[in-house]
Amino acid sequence: MIYIFPATLAHAADAAESSGGFGSLVNFVPLAIMFVIFYFLLIRPQQKRSKETKKMLSEIQKGDNVVTTSGIHGKIVSVADDTVMVEIADNVRIKISREAVAMRRT
């Protein structure tokens, strides 16, 4: 009995190899379909959202009403290279990183 089992495995391996390249192509198709689905449902929308955020951050200017990532609402008083000064109340200004601005309000 012990000698029959390895012989059966060897025969099954030979049968799998004899199917040629078509068998490996059939195994690859579901992976390719899953990648396409992930690309259109996850990767592409995230890239689009990231591009829109970068554009919004580059267009920030003095006088814009903004909301920070922490939820603070305010008006931009001045803009530097990587920071902005936001007035959140009368004579109350905070200096925040440009990346901390979540959105502009109209």
CB–CB of 84/101 below 8 Å? Answer: yes
Helix (H) / strand (E) element for 84: namely strand 83-89
**Domain 60-106 in CATH 2.30.30:** yes
pLDDT digits (tens, 9 = 90+) for 6-48: 555 555 555 555 555 677 778 888 999 999 999 999 999 999 9
Residues 79-97, mean pLDDT to the nearest whole number: 96
Q: What single DSSP character describes residue 81?
A: S
Query: pTM for this structure?
Result: 0.65
**Residue 63 token pair:** 């006088």
